Every structure is written in C-alpha cells, then in structure tokens.
Structure 1
Amino acid sequence: MTTKAGVAPTVRCDAIGNRNTTGCIVSAAEPILDYSTRNIPELATHVRYAQASGLPGDPAGTSPLRRLADPVAQQTNRNISCNRVPRPRPTGQQCDEYPFAATYQGGGANGPARTYQGSCDVAQPAWVDTLATNPVPFKSSTGISMCLLSASQNQRAGGILTWFYTKNRVLDNDTFYVKG
C-alpha cells in the first residue's frame, strides 16, 4: 500500500487496548463506525439528524470526532448532555447524546443543545433548539444533540462503540467518523 508518489504510509503498532492485544493500523486511514447497518434505526436516525445540524463526525465531511479515553471525563460529558433531559423519562427509554460522551467533542464542549421533534421523544425546555426535519435549518459545528432512544438500542450502540474502538485501535485523541 502506498499513499502519494510511492511513499509508504505510516503504520502505528501498539499493545494498548481493553483486551491486552497487540496490533497495527495505518494512521492515515481514519476508521468509520457504520451504525446504519447495525439494526439500531433509532440511533442511526439520531446520528444522521445530529450531523445534518452541523455536528462533526460525518464521513462525507472534513471534521472527524476525536476519542476521549478518560472514563471520568466521559461521565462528565454524559452528565452535561443527558442531565438536561427532563425527568421522569418514559419507561424503557435512555438519553443518547451526540457527539458521544467518549469524544472530546462530547457534552463538555461548548455550543448549543438540540433535539428533533417527533423523532426523539424529549419534552423541550425553552433553551433547546428543536429541529423538526432533516435537513435541518439550524447549523452549528459545536454543541450537543440529545435524543431519547429505546434502552436496548442505546446499550447496543454503546457496546458497538466500545468494540469499534478496540477493533480499530482507536486510542485517546485518535480521529474517526460515524455513519448513521
């Protein structure tokens, strides 16, 4: 494999990961997490709407997500995003946030909050920009999107994200894209 003018690509090898494995990646090849084929349509729709509102991570764009590996910072991101969703929440529903809590662009980053009327089942406080359709009229490359999803889909999506990070050797601050 070569990149340009016969120059060999940079390969990174490591022994870091949740499963004590060693492996190598081509660092110029940013991995793409494809949720569109994972039988989790609520999550895939949320990702598409969030990206259509300007948030990063769309493989067709130029702004990847960056992995955040620190579990304490991840929980802080999750709390900033999902503690905004009013309670009580419907039985069997969980808050999903995009960008993911496990990214540097997650809830701790500044910017407007948004959700999607008719698709996310979230009662909206006055400060939330509610977006009704895709493509959406509101655009911002910063901020968060929140959506209530079925708990089973949200948990499955989280497991797939963890698997993706391990399988593709996505380390702290590495970039990647998400397809919804």
Structure 2
Amino acid sequence: MWKWPDWCDDHGVANGWYVTRIRGCGVWGYELIVRDSRGRELGRINYLAVGYEHSARDGKRWAYQMALLEVRRSGGAAVAGTKAAGKAKCRKKCKIASGSFPSQSISATKSPYGQFYIDTTINTSRRGQQGSGRGVISWRMTNPRWGSSNSAEVSTSDVRCDTALPGRTRQVGCVNPGYIPEMVYSKTGPYPELAQHIAYAQDEKNLPGKHRTTRYLTRLTDGTKQDRNRNKACPTSRPRPTGKSCDEYPFASTWQGAATGRDGFSWRMIDEGQNRKGGNALNGFFTYNRIIEADRYLVWIKP
C-alpha cells in the first residue's frame, strides 16, 4: 500500500479532496449495516475510505489508490468474514492502464485496498494539447452469510494532462488544476527591489495576485500581447538610470498586464540584475508547476 501524505490525516474526515499540484488525498466516512428480513440491525462496520492520487509533471500516467480502514464493528457473527473488492474506470480524457482491487478481508488489522495506473488519452505527439480526466474507484462488501452490499465509489478531482507548456511543448505532464500555485519572493531574498515593488503594487495600488486572495493572476503566453503589456508599462521613452531596468506589475506575461488587463498597473526602475534573475525565477515557477495559458496563480511577498 502506498503511504499517503501526513497532511491527509491532518484534515481528517472531510468527504472531499485536498490537493497540491501533483498530489491529492481525501478521507470519507462509511458504514456497512447488516439487517435481517424484518429490517432489524444485526451488525455494522464503520470504516474510512482513504483516497490518494499522484501524478507526474513530466509523464502521461498518474496513479490512484483507495484504502478501506475499519474504525469499529458490532454484531459479531453477522459481519465476521466480511471482505471488500472493487474496480476502476475513467471519466473524460483518460483510461485505466493497469491495476486491481482484489477481494480482501476487512478488520481492525487488515485494510483492503486497490491501486490503479491511469493514462491520459490526449494526443501526446501533438503540441498544445490538453485534457482532464477523473479516476473512479468503486467497491462492494461481501459475506457468505448475506451476499453483497450496495456499491460505493469515489472519483478523483480533475487531473489535467497537457503538451501545452511553453518551451516544452512536446513534453506531456499531468497536474491538479484545482490547486493554485504561489510564486514566492522575499524582501530580504535575492531580489529585494523586485519584491518591494510587487508589495507596493499589491498593497498600495490594490493590484491583483496577492497571497490569500482570490484575485488571481492568469498566465498569458502570446508573445505579441506580452510585448504590448511591456511596452505600455515600460515604454522605451522612460529613462533607465545606469544599472536599472523597468519592472512592471502585473507581469507582462499575465492577462492582467498593463495593456490586456483592466485594473491598472505599476512600474518602477529596479536593479537590472534582480529584475532579470527574478524573471528567470518566475519562468522556472511556471515550468515546475506546469502553468499553461490562462492558468491561475498568486504571488506571495514575504518579509
């Protein structure tokens, strides 16, 4: 059984998914109730279903596991010998590549589980492709005394696979688009002038993209539109002191930029090296998180 991350246990039974860019986990509460022909309860098993999925930034395959953990039981013989077995299917742009959920006993010391590998069905040989899929694992409880229970199932949140990452358009990768990444700069880090300008733009000019808000920045990959943003915020007519270059916020590579956005913009002359290296760091952030056209993100300025 794959070990799910500790933060999955920290969230407890929430009956929903918590995701990072390439991992997702959730805990659901279930109960199996055994009744006689008159509807009287003979026994029950309370259990948790723990779902865990993880994808790869540089691959077309992702994985999905479901584990069933017994919490308590009552009824003795009515539930003794109960087993669980399941199967998987895919919705939207994916298919089950391999895996199984064989019949296994459930008890305080035995946790049945199923594991499946899932492939995207987008055309990975073409540039600019993307598509989302959801893995679905279903299971039933069985017992020789009473037969089979109703089926239960849990679907993952969307996993998006693409070949649309600028600069790496032939490389497929898969992420959880529901997770909003954050680019982090620090006022005491390697690009302090850049960080100070962004903090000013967010705090004093109320421009979007700030940490802990839902006023997201969205990536713009069209080079012509990026140039329009850059030229409006930092035209060549602005004098550049020696060693300085013009920094714009929101970034030229966003739909919130000076020309493509509607909320205004800020510019400032900052250290040329910090501006260049801070921009390189932003591009690395885009690549690491597979932030493609129109993907949302935030910028967190730390002290």
Same fold per superposition (TM over 0.5): yes
Q: How many residues align?
A: 149
Q: Does 1:106 align with 2:257?
A: yes
Cα RMSD (Å): 2.0
Which sections of structure 1, spanning at least 5 residues, go unmatched?
112-141
Distance 1:160 1:66 in 2: 17
> Which residue among 263, 266, 270 is the counterpart of 1:149?
270
Distance 2:237 2:189 in 1: 26
Change in 2 beyond 3 A, CA 1:110/1:8: closer
Are the counterparts in 1 of residues 194 and 274 from structure 2 also a CA contact under 8 Å? yes
Distance 1:40 1:172 in 2: 26
Distance 1:83 1:72 in 2: 15
Which sections of structure 2, spanning at least 5 residues, go unmatched?
1-7, 9-16, 19-25, 29-154
Distance 1:102 1:67 in 2: 6
Distance 1:67 1:110 in 2: 12
Distance 1:63 1:80 in 2: 22
Q: What residue identity is the alignment partner of 2:222?
A: D
How far has the Cα of 1:86 moved from its partner? Answer: 2.8
Secondary structure class of the residue paired with 1:35: strand
Q: Which has the higher helix share?
A: 1
- Alpha-carbon displacement from aligned partner over 1:19-76 (angstroms, at most 9, x marks no partner): 3432111111011011127511111111111110210001221100010000111011
Secondary structure class of the residue paired with 1:27: coil
Counterparts of residues 1-180 of structure 1 (less than 5 Å): 2-3=17-18, 8-17=156-165, 18-19=167-168, 20-36=170-186, 38-52=189-203, 53-83=205-235, 86-87=238-239, 89-109=240-260, 142-180=263-301
Are the counterparts in 2 of residues 12 and 26 from structure 1 also a CA contact under 8 Å? yes
- Alpha-carbon displacement from aligned partner over 1:81-111 (angstroms, at most 9, x marks no partner): 0018632x21110000000000001010465
Structure 1 counterpart of 2:88: none
TM-score by length of 2: 0.46
How far has the Cα of 1:179 moved from its partner? Answer: 1.2
Change in 2 beyond 3 A, CA 1:14/1:57: same
> Larger Cα Rg: Structure 1 or Structure 2?
2
Change in 2 beyond 3 A, CA 1:55/1:83: same
Distance 1:110 1:31 in 2: 21
